[in-house]
Structure 1
Amino acid sequence: MIINIVAGGPENLLPDLNKFTGENVIWVGVDRGVFHLIQRNIKPMIAFGDFDSVTTEELTAIESQVNEMKKFKPEKDETDTELALEWALEQNPERIQLFGGTGGRLDHLFANVQLLVNPLIKGYPTSIYLIDRQNVLTVKGPGHYTIEKKSSEKYISFVPVTINVTNLTLEGFKFPLKDRHIFLGSTLCISNELIDDHGTFSFSEGILIVIRSHD
């Protein structure tokens, strides 16, 4: 099962959501993201939000289309997106894909990037992917990973989340590394590229954001 969550970020940064549909896919809307889904004739199974970013007419349209709505007051500890992600993680999906989580306010962007770390912290096996028209972000803990070459996501960057990332090794890349120590704030691993059909990356300590992008 894959859970796709559409948040209320700028609509112009959304990819073609119809490319992410399928039999084993559940759609979730967050605040104005619910309206984005309805406009594309995609019916979310559940909606989360305080819905302070939609008009009265848009809210009426949302309520007529969505059977289950989780409404919250604007004054709360968690963002609407975090509440939706917590629900999604409890469903134990294969993966979660978050759309509409980039652009606009920087505080929302940084909060959403940090939310990618939650499965690692809470012990869930599920990975979260933050996706827009130009980028795919996810977070990885220590381990050995294979990564596939994609012409649509030519550039691959590795950004430390923790103070230190140790023994980072990149193989099959234009700029390989061997057992390299990377510290928080380093730009050493920005804008790398695969030279083979597949590459690998591994590290022994820390947390990395893995970003795949195109110009």
Structure 2
Amino acid sequence: MIINILAGGPESLLPDLSEYLEKDAIWVGVDRGVYHLLKRNITPKIAFGDFDSVSVEELMFIEERVTELKKYKPEKDETDMELALNWALDQDPSMIRLFGATGGRLDHLFANVHLLVNPLKTKKSAKICLIDKYNLIFIKGPGRYTIEKINTKKYISFVPLTLNVQDLTLEGFKFPLENRHISIGSTLCISNELNSDYGTFSFSEGILIVIRSHD
């Protein structure tokens, strides 16, 4: 099972959502993202939000079409996206994709990127990624991973999320590394590229943000 979550980020940064309409995909709306989904004739199974970013008319449009609507007061401990993500993780999916989570306010962007670490914290097996028109972002803990070439997102960056990332090794990349220690704040691993169809990256300690981008 795949769960796609659409938040209320700028529509100009959304990818073509028709590429993610798999048969086993469940759609979840977050705040204004619910309205964005309905405009594209995608009815979410469930929706979360305080809905302070939609008009009265838009909220009525949403309420008429979404059966399971979780409405919250704006004053709460979790963001709307975190509430939706926690629900999604409890469904034990194989993958969770976050859309509409970039652009606009930087505090929302940083919060949404940090939410990608939740499966590691809760020891859930779901793969989770954040996708917009230009980027695909995911987070990895220690291990060895194969990464496949994507022609539409040729740049690959590795950004430490923790204070230190130990023994980072990049194989099959234009700029390879072997057992390097990378500290938070380092830009050493920005805008790398694969030499062929596949490459590998590995490290023994820390957490990495992996960003795949195009101009």
Q: Percent identity?
A: 71
Q: How does the TM-score come out when normalised to structure 1?
A: 0.99
Query: Take 2:83 and 2:126, find their aligned partners in 1: how far apart are those partners?
Result: 16
How far 1:119 moved relative to its partner? 0.7
| Structure 1 position 48 matched with structure 2 position 48 | yes
Query: Where does structure 1 lack aligned partners over 5 or more consecutive residues?
Result: none
Match of 2:81 in 1: 81
SS class of match (1:88): helix
Match of 2:137 in 1: 137
Match of 2:164 in 1: 164
Query: Take 1:162 and 1:56, find their aligned partners in 2: how far apart are those partners?
Result: 42
Match of 1:96 in 2: 96
Match of 2:182 in 1: 182
Question: What one-letter code is carried by the residue in structure 2 that aligns with 1:107?
Answer: D
Match of 2:193 in 1: 193
Query: Take 2:39 and 2:169, find their aligned partners in 1: how far apart are those partners?
Result: 44
Structure 1 segments of 4 or more deviating over 3 A? Answer: none
Alignment RMSD (CA, Å): 0.5
SS class of match (1:151): coil
Match of 1:67 in 2: 67
SS class of match (1:27): strand
Match of 2:109 in 1: 109
Question: What one-letter code is carried by the residue in structure 2 that aligns with 1:180?
Answer: R
Query: Take 1:91 and 1:54, find their aligned partners in 2: how far apart are those partners?
Result: 28
Query: Take 2:25 and 2:56, find their aligned partners in 1: how far apart are those partners?
Result: 29
Deviations 1:116-143 (A, max 9, x none): 0111011111121010000000000000
Query: Where does structure 2 lack aligned partners over 5 or more consecutive residues?
Result: none
Q: How does the TM-score come out when normalised to structure 2?
A: 0.99
Match of 1:14 in 2: 14
SS class of match (2:22): coil
Deviations 1:67-109 (A, max 9, x none): 1011100000100000000000000100100000000000000
* Aligned partners of 1:13 and 1:132 also within 8 Å: yes
* Aligned partners of 1:127 and 1:139 also within 8 Å: no
